[in-house]
Structure 1
Amino acid sequence: MSRLSAALAAALLLSLEASGKTLQGLFRTEAARQENGQFITKFMFQGGAGLLVCRLEDPGPAAQRESRLLLFQDLDPDLDNLSCSQRLGKAQLTVPLSLEEHNQTVPRQFAATVWQVLYADRYTCQESSVTLSHSDLSFTLLLFNADSAGNPLDHFSAEEAGLHGFYFLLLLAYFIACCIYVQPLYQALKKGGPMHTVLRVLTTALALQGFSALCNYVHLARYSRDGAGFPLMGSLAEFWDMVSQVSMLYMLLSLCMGWTLSRGRKPQSRPLQWERSPASTAVAVGGVVTQGALLLWEQYSESESDHHSYHAQQSLAGLLLIALRVGLALLLASVLYQIISTERSTLKRDFYFSFAKGCFLWFLCHPVLVLMSAVFNDHQREKVVTMGVILCQSISMVILYQLFLSRSLYWEVSSLSSVSLPLTMSRANHGGRY
């Protein structure tokens, strides 16, 4: 697990890119000629009071080259089949760059619309490479939506609006829950007991989710002021969330596979003892490695987006992640059905049902929310999935916490036999570390 975490961290840090809606860069004449227009960025305006501001350090060469910004609504792939001049002529807005600062109001739309910004000049549609001697133009580009007062001062794109407030409320809920439950949880961990390892993994996973939310909040708080934020904090948020995901997956797979693979070798009086066998460990590690690889793959496939979110599921890696979680949920259902169907103890069946609720919520919330998001508008889908997955997984952790800490259920079940539940101390002492 530690090696996988280190690999995830290295991959994320190496893939950092400048992002945000206050962009600083270079207009390159040669790049515009080769690409039939240099792609600069894209931004989803919410429908009204949108504003684009472009500042040039040296407007003189820009005026000589007849430099201009071209704005396209939802750039159609069919435009690539047109000639260079025809393609550039399809732009809905043209912003000539001859002054130090240009302000362009975006026309009102009935709904949120993605606009793509390209750079072009008089040499863009020339076939011969005669522009290599031209120097690049330094620019600063700012893109705004309307804020709550109707003024174009909001750096957030339409698909990002509301995330800042969500993470604030999430952190507030974490803080309140921590103030209420930190002492009982600390005492339970200090005492040890049959479920000590499970509680430790759950606490670690929840803490990592809290760190992820904090990093996202810090990044978005800065982003709301300058449109750039802290890209490093955004990548750290993704990293902590991924480590939380793989930690929970390893724990759940280890429990379920340990129960199943050892079931045929144990007497019926002890059907739930977790055997740390090579087969169960291999299945758990294999699932974790597969999910980690898919998460990293998706991060690279979504590298063009300004805020990475593995919840978006707009790539092959995202679809494979959904398929993996559905498959794991079906595997879990098969495991628990076999055990519950032969279990005579009502207390143990209740334990399994509660455990199943928490696990199914963890595995299936993501695929279900992706399907449900189809009824929402394009700019709302990613927010619905992102917020919904975080909330559902937090609820899943709460359900598992209640199950493992409940005196009315857990302690009664565990008292039936010192080895009747997974992760018992007797097995932990003989089976090595988790």
Structure 2
Amino acid sequence: MRSVSRDQAPPPPVFPAADVAARRCTCHPAGGDRTEMLGGLALLAGLALLHNAGAKTVHGSFDSALAWHSRGQHIVTFLFHGDQAVLCVRITNVAAAAGKDATLYLYQNEQWLKMHGSMEEYSCTEKLSLAQVLIPLNQTEYNYTLPQIVYPKAWYAIYADKYTCLMSYEDPKSDDITYEVTLLNPDAAGNPFDHFGADESGLHEFYFLLVLVYFVAACIYIQALWQTIKKGGPMHTVLKVLSIALLLQAVSALANYIHFSRYARDGKGVPFIGSFAELCDIASEVQMLYLLLSLCMGWTLSRMKKSQSKPLQWDSTPTSTGFAVVAVTAQVILLVWEQFEENEHHSFHAHLSLAGTLLIALKICLAMSLAFGLYQIISLERSTMKRQFYITFSKGCFLWFLCHPCFVVISYLFKEYQREKVITVGVVLSQSLSMVILYRLFLSHSLYWEVSSLSSVTLPLTVSSGHRSRYYS
């Protein structure tokens, strides 16, 4: 928060809305060369797992120096909804807190944005006086029920004390004041036991259904797919990389489900598991990017050189491999940068940060690059069947690369608290559909069997357009 004024603060104001009952808290207790690429992913794992997400049962220490420097120490932001939303506060060292006139200020989103949109118009004390709710921290525990909220609103909790608005900071030299803040929304029965904010509600159920679908699909297809990969063939590398990317997505869905299941109980989740889910999504993105670029650029260069090699195989060249590695490196840097800029455990964000914007631009540029390369292939191809193969492959590629930018744009048709959910659900489903299209293409007995040397390999799993899936031995 930008410093505007450093005048002496008057005694903290009293707000009628702050009818804080000092009673027992009823909330839950806190409780190219793939070797080089793998090495890069290992480094990425170490970076991603150091990233901490903000939980909704928040622990920490009130810092008078930080509050003075920032004109208020930001504690947490939460999207409350309903008429029984509760904020629980538990602190230690009540004597030190009372000596500092320690206070928790709550601002609604509209007031917060208005205040920050006109920073020069408000002094430090004026900004504190604009808080909708004031909670004096002079008791061990508080349980504050917010006024009825007609539609979801973000609330900001800010800590300040009598040193916050001084002209120069005076070190109080008092003991630390640790806190635990738990934020709860009403559940389906109207009781304040739901740790999920309005921006996260529904994601737990979504990941449960996604894990269930992956499990059922694995039971049906994994044996046949494994037999196909074991038999080798000209597209062995493609199928293996595609399968690894799909496996990473499934592991990410499972990790997210575990994290949200724990989060539903204590508001903290398992940060390590949440980071691991993000890592798996990043690794899956890297795998697919390398696969699609290597295939597309390799085929394009082969066609330009009038190569007579077997068509439609992993036909990477130094140029295509180099292009893929550069694109992968740029994407990894932006993905890691974005994760460090965000505070929540979500693989897909609303992209309000610079890193997120650059990542969207990169995906659009890659889609355009693929479109240019595939257009060259399709325009020169005389075989109707091969042309149809390339067109179907293009659909899978564009769906993978453009689903994220498209859903970011679509999300702006929704309210702000719904945007990340729209992006997450839309992108996950679209990328899963893209993988289904590519699997269908590479294992199709009706199309790919005829246009590639895979016809010399007996496929145990085939998917024919308009026909039921069949097993071949």
TM-score by length of 1: 0.91
**Letter matched to residue 35 of structure 1:** S
Is residue 140 of structure 1 aligned with residue 180 of structure 2? yes
Is residue 414 of structure 1 aligned with residue 452 of structure 2? yes
Match of 1:5 among 41, 46, 52: 41
Coordinate RMSD, CA, aligned:
1.8
Q: Deviations over 1:360-415 (max 9, x none)?
A: 11111111111111111111110000111011001110111111111111112125
Matching residue of 1:125: 165
Take 1:43 and 1:293, find their aligned partners in 2: how far apart are those partners? 29
Describe how 1:222-261 pairs up with structure 2 within 5 A. Answer: 222-261=262-301
8 Å Cα contact 1:30/1:132 also seen in 2: no
Is residue 393 of structure 1 aligned with residue 431 of structure 2? yes
Matching residue of 2:84: 49
Is residue 61 of structure 1 aligned with residue 96 of structure 2? yes
8 Å Cα contact 2:292/2:397 also seen in 1: yes
**Letter matched to residue 145 of structure 1:** N
8 Å Cα contact 1:67/1:120 also seen in 2: yes
Q: Structure 1: give runs of 5+ residues left out of the alignment.
A: 419-434
**Letter matched to residue 368 of structure 2:** L
Is residue 378 of structure 1 aligned with residue 413 of structure 2? no
Take 2:304 and 2:345, find their aligned partners in 1: how far apart are those partners? 48
Take 2:97 and 2:333, find their aligned partners in 1: how far apart are those partners? 45
Is residue 37 of structure 1 aligned with residue 72 of structure 2? yes
Match of 2:212 among 142, 160, 172: 172
Residues 342 and 129 of structure 1: CA distance in aligned 2, closer, same or farther (over 3 Å): closer
Match of 1:111 among 139, 146, 151: 151
Take 1:259 and 1:143, find their aligned partners in 2: how far apart are those partners? 54
- CA drift of 1:7 comes to 2.1
8 Å Cα contact 1:23/1:140 also seen in 2: yes
**Letter matched to residue 353 of structure 2:** S
Take 1:309 and 1:184, find their aligned partners in 2: how far apart are those partners? 31
Matching residue of 2:345: 307
Is residue 187 of structure 1 aligned with residue 227 of structure 2? yes
Q: Deviations over 1:342-375 (max 9, x none)?
A: 2221221121121111111111111111111111
8 Å Cα contact 1:263/1:271 also seen in 2: no
Q: Deviations over 1:212-243 (max 9, x none)?
A: 11111111111110011111111110001100
8 Å Cα contact 1:312/1:386 also seen in 2: no
Q: Deviations over 1:322-344 (max 9, x none)?
A: 11111111221222222112222
**Letter matched to residue 383 of structure 2:** S
Matching residue of 2:201: 161
TM-score by length of 2: 0.84
Figure out how many residues of one structure are paired with residues of the other and give that number: 415
Q: Deviations over 1:180-206 (max 9, x none)?
A: 001110111111122211110111000
Q: Deviations over 1:149-194 (max 9, x none)?
A: 1111111111111111110000000000000001110111111122
Take 1:261 and 1:280, find their aligned partners in 2: how far apart are those partners? 8
Q: Percent identity?
A: 54
**Letter matched to residue 21 of structure 1:** K
Is residue 152 of structure 1 aligned with residue 192 of structure 2? yes
Matching residue of 1:404: 442
- CA drift of 1:417 comes to 8.8
Take 2:454 and 2:94, find their aligned partners in 1: how far apart are those partners? 81
For the residue of structure 1 that corresponds to 2:379, the secondary structure is helix
Residues 78 and 367 of structure 1: CA distance in aligned 2, closer, same or farther (over 3 Å): closer
Q: Deviations over 1:14-71 (max 9, x none)?
A: 3x32631111111122322222211111111124321101012232222232221100
Is residue 364 of structure 1 aligned with residue 399 of structure 2? no
- CA drift of 1:268 comes to 6.9
Take 1:408 and 1:108, find their aligned partners in 2: how far apart are those partners? 60
**Letter matched to residue 32 of structure 1:** A
**Letter matched to residue 83 of structure 2:** G
Take 2:173 and 2:384, find their aligned partners in 1: how far apart are those partners? 82
Residues 73 and 23 of structure 1: CA distance in aligned 2, closer, same or farther (over 3 Å): same
Match of 2:357 among 306, 319, 322: 319
8 Å Cα contact 1:29/1:134 also seen in 2: no
Take 1:29 and 1:363, find their aligned partners in 2: how far apart are those partners? 47
Is residue 92 of structure 1 aligned with residue 132 of structure 2? yes
Take 2:53 and 2:353, find their aligned partners in 1: how far apart are those partners? 22
Take 2:350 and 2:45, find their aligned partners in 1: how far apart are those partners? 21
For the residue of structure 2 that corresponds to 1:69, the secondary structure is strand
Take 2:430 and 2:454, find their aligned partners in 1: how far apart are those partners? 32
Higher relative helix content: 1
Take 2:437 and 2:101, find their aligned partners in 1: how far apart are those partners? 63
Matching residue of 1:421: none
Take 1:188 and 1:52, find their aligned partners in 2: how far apart are those partners? 55
For the residue of structure 1 that corresponds to 2:58, the secondary structure is strand
- CA drift of 1:416 comes to 9.4
8 Å Cα contact 2:275/2:345 also seen in 1: no
